[in-house]
């Protein structure tokens, strides 16, 4: 075992020896110490690479991935971390941690790897939970992108004000960074943008707004927009993705990426996994659509449904994770009630909470009788597809690319909405094809 790995293993064992009640008081100091120690062990790698970070409530992952793609297309060597995946100079591997900012010195180690292989940029998705654990400390920033802010993780932070304060720590980190030519990019259509700008006076301020893309068109299978005189058609869909690509384009342009390169990137941009991801079986002809999306907040769920228009929606809906954001469960049920002709309320990540109770909480928001409670997530997906008619859309939300279903006592059940959906599509289409063959 390498010395650094041995040290990290020793720290894990040390933590286990500390009584839980005592650790509660020591926790802030413990995590701050880990952040400092990681920076020391890996020799403060952020000093040797340009670091851009993306924060906000929604759109962090997509904006991170789009910005990474733009920089890569421009010829830069890029490392990036997101809820979706980790990228090192074009080599990617899935993020299996169920968090955008893994701990235990992960970010410092990742940045050192990026420096070692000669990356020009590191693009980091940054979350409010990371601030609570000091994972943003000792990382010198060159740029910050603020996407938007809405109430989320309130049970963890205690209030919206605390949640906002956690996000604003990234603006403070940018202000305190000794890097030169610092950039802060904010969503000018969001009411909290001015607070981010005020806390980063040493950074050059840049704003983006939907007006920057005018004239634009939001279609069911693409977006068309105007950027710096260029008309761009991209396979991304939804108003929220228009914001995401504007955020990425604004920061990319500030790094010297040309409008032509931005257009080239957006035109050929591959689908982002777990974000309005279309699932096909590769088997018999599929006459209904299946889409997997990470939407796990009220706003993101509404926007995902809106992006698909008013086609026949059959919705597989979780109820947010156990032990958190209980108030939004009925709201998510209500949103689905407005948009979906049939709803399958199912299990998501119950943790130590009763999954049946979570499902019932979601159901209180559904005023019609067009819903079913199906605790087995695979069975819910299967039944939704069995109910689909030609032209319908089966929308599976809540997990995106999450690799596990989290159960009681920390139990992890390996999972993939996309894989399960693909398997069930193939079974159903094969069954239908066999039935047609037998009847002919």
- SS3 state of residue 376: coil
> Based on the domain organization, do 150 and 185 belong to the same domain?
yes
More confident call, 315 vs 270: 315
pLDDT of residue 224: 97
Lowest-confidence segment of 21-25, 58-62, 95-99, 270-274 by average pLDDT:
21-25
Lowest-confidence segment of 25-39, 168-182, 225-239 by average pLDDT:
25-39
Cβ 173 vs Cβ 52: under 8 Å: no
> Based on the domain organization, do 211 and 352 belong to the same domain?
no
Report if residue 21 sits inside a domain: no
Domain boundary among 248, 267, 286: 267
Q: Is the pLDDT of residue 7 over 70?
A: no
- Compute the average pLDDT of residues 212-217: 95
> Based on the domain organization, do 422 and 304 belong to the same domain?
yes
Q: Which of 314, 293, 307 is nearest to 400 (CA)?
A: 293
pLDDT of residue 27: 77
Q: Is the dihedral of CA 8, 45, 195, 294 positive or negative?
A: negative
Tell whether omega for the bond before 324 is within 30 degrees of 0, i.e. cis.
Answer: no
> Based on the domain organization, do 256 and 389 belong to the same domain?
no
Tell the residue number behind the tokens 């289409």, with chain if given. 429
> Based on the domain organization, do 236 and 353 belong to the same domain?
no
What is the domain-level CATH number for residue 422? 3.90.190.20
Q: Is the pLDDT of residue 123 over 90?
A: yes
Q: Is the pLDDT of residue 254 over 60?
A: yes
More confident call, 158 vs 206: 206
CA distances from 345 to 333, 358, 363 (A): 8, 10, 7
> Based on the domain organization, do 407 and 377 belong to the same domain?
yes
Q: Is the pLDDT of residue 151 over 90?
A: no
> Based on the domain organization, do 254 and 282 belong to the same domain?
no
Q: Is the dihedral of CA 235, 238, 244, 246 positive or negative?
A: positive
Report if residue 165 sits inside a domain: yes
> Based on the domain organization, do 259 and 288 belong to the same domain?
no
Burial class (CB in 10 A: 0-12, 13-18, 19+), 175: middle
Q: Quick one: pLDDT band at residue 72, thresholds 50, 70, 90?
A: very high
pLDDT of residue 8: 63
CA distances from 115 to 77, 90, 336, 389 (A): 10, 14, 46, 52
- Compute the average pLDDT of residues 63-83: 98
277 CB-near residues (< 8 Å, 6+ apart): 271, 291, 292, 293, 400, 418
pTM of the model: 0.91
- SS3 state of residue 221: coil
What is the domain-level CATH number for residue 220? 3.40.1190.10
Domain boundary among 232, 267, 302: 267
β strands within 260-388, DSSP E:
277-278, 289-293, 313-317, 342-346, 371-374
Write the DSSP string, 386-404.
HHPPTT-EEEEES-TT--E
Lowest-confidence segment of 47-51, 125-129, 155-159, 352-356 by average pLDDT:
155-159
- Compute the average pLDDT of residues 43-55: 98
> Based on the domain organization, do 432 and 374 belong to the same domain?
yes
What is the chain's alpha carbon radius of gyration, rounded to the nearest angstrom?
A: 22
Cα(163)–Cα(128) distance, integer angstroms: 7
- Compute the average pLDDT of residues 241-252: 98
What are 182-195's pLDDT values in tens digits?
999 999 999 999 99
Cα(25)–Cα(142) distance, integer angstroms: 33
Report if residue 23 sits inside a domain: no
Q: Is the pLDDT of residue 369 over 80?
A: no
pLDDT of residue 323: 76
The token pair at 28 is 């802030």
Q: Is the pLDDT of residue 341 over 80?
A: yes
Q: Is the dihedral of CA 248, 253, 256, 259 positive or negative?
A: positive
The token pair at 401 is 């690319």
Cα(63)–Cα(381) distance, integer angstroms: 29
> Based on the domain organization, do 188 and 247 belong to the same domain?
yes
pLDDT of residue 324: 77
Cβ 402 vs Cβ 347: under 8 Å: no
pLDDT of residue 154: 72
Q: Quick one: pLDDT band at residue 2, thresholds 50, 70, 90?
A: low
Report if residue 24 sits inside a domain: no
- Compute the average pLDDT of residues 123-134: 92
Cβ 82 vs Cβ 61: under 8 Å: yes
What are 296-309's pLDDT values in tens digits?
888 899 999 998 88
Q: Is the pLDDT of residue 328 over 80?
A: yes
- Compute the average pLDDT of residues 325-340: 91
What is the number of domains present in the chain?
2
Most confident of 187-201, 348-362, 426-440: 187-201
Q: Is 11 left (phi over 0), alpha (psi -120 to 50) or beta?
A: alpha
Q: Is the pLDDT of residue 320 over 80?
A: no
pLDDT of residue 322: 81
CA distances from 205 to 40, 169, 173, 249, 346 (A): 31, 17, 15, 15, 44
> Based on the domain organization, do 260 and 331 belong to the same domain?
no
Q: Is the pLDDT of residue 10 over 90?
A: no
The token pair at 101 is 């900012």
Q: Quick one: pLDDT band at residue 343, thresholds 50, 70, 90?
A: very high
Cα(413)–Cα(326) distance, integer angstroms: 23
- Compute the average pLDDT of residues 373-379: 96
What are 273-291's pLDDT values in tens digits?
999 999 988 777 899 999 9
Return mean pLDDT, the chain: 91
The rounded percent of the chain whose pLDDT value lies above 70 is 95
Cβ 216 vs Cβ 238: under 8 Å: no
Residue numbers of the domain that contains 309: 277-436
Q: Is the pLDDT of residue 1 over 60?
A: no
Lowest-confidence segment of 8-22, 24-38, 144-158, 299-313 by average pLDDT:
8-22
Q: Is the pLDDT of residue 23 over 80?
A: no
Domain boundary among 223, 246, 267: 267
Q: Which of 111, 59, 67 is nearest to 255 (CA)?
A: 67
Cα(316)–Cα(418) distance, integer angstroms: 13
């Amino acid at each position: 075992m390498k010395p650094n790995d041995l040290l990290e293993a020793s720290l894990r064992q040390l933590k286990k020896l500390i009584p839980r009640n005592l650790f509660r008081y020591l926790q802030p100091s413990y995590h701050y110490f880990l952040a400092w120690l990681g920076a020391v062990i890996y020799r403060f790698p952020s000093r040797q690479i340009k670091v851009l970070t993306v924060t906000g409530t929604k759109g962090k992952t997509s904006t991170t991935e789009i910005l990474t793609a733009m920089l890569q297309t421009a010829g830069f060597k890029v490392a990036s971390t997101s809820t979706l995946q980790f990228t090192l100079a074009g080599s990617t591997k899935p993020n299996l941690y169920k968090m955008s900012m893994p701990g235990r010195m992960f970010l410092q180690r990742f940045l050192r790897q990026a420096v070692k292989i000669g990356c020009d940029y590191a693009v980091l998705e940054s979350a409010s939970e990371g601030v609570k654990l000091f994972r943003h400390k000792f990382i010198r920033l060159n740029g910050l992108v603020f996407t938007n802010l809405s109430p989320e993780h309130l049970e963890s932070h205690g209030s919206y004000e605390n949640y906002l304060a956690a996000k604003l720590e990234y603006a403070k980190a940018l202000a305190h960074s000794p890097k030169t030519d610092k950039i802060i990019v904010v969503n000018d259509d969001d009411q909290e943008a001015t607070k981010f700008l005020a806390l980063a006076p040493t950074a050059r301020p840049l704003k983006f707004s939907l007006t920057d893309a005018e004239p634009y068109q939001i279609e069911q299978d693409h977006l068309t927009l105007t950027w710096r005189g260029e008309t761009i058609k991209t396979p991304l869909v939804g108003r929220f993705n228009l914001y995401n690509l504007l955020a990425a384009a604004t920061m990319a342009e500030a790094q010297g990426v040309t409008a032509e390169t931005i257009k080239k990137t957006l035109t050929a941009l591959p689908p982002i996994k777990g974000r309005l991801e279309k699932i096909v079986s590769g088997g018999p002809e599929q006459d209904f659509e299946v889409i997997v999306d990470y939407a796990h907040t009220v706003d993101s769920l509404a926007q995902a449904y809106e992006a698909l228009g008013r086609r026949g929606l059959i919705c597989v809906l979780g109820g947010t994770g156990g032990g958190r954001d209980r108030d939004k469960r009925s709201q998510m049920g209500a949103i689905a009630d407005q948009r979906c002709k049939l709803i399958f309320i199912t299990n998501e990540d119950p943790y130590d909470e009763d999954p049946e109770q979570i499902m019932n909480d979601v159901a209180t928001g559904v005023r019609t009788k067009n819903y079913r409670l199906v605790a087995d997530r695979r069975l819910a997906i299967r039944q939704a597809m069995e109910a689909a008619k030609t032209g319908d859309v089966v929308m599976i939300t809540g997990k995106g690319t999450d690799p596990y279903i989290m159960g009681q006592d920390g139990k992890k059940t390996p999972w993939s909405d996309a894989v399960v959906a693909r398997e069930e599509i193939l079974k159903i289409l094969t069954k239908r094809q066999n039935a047609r063959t037998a009847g002919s």
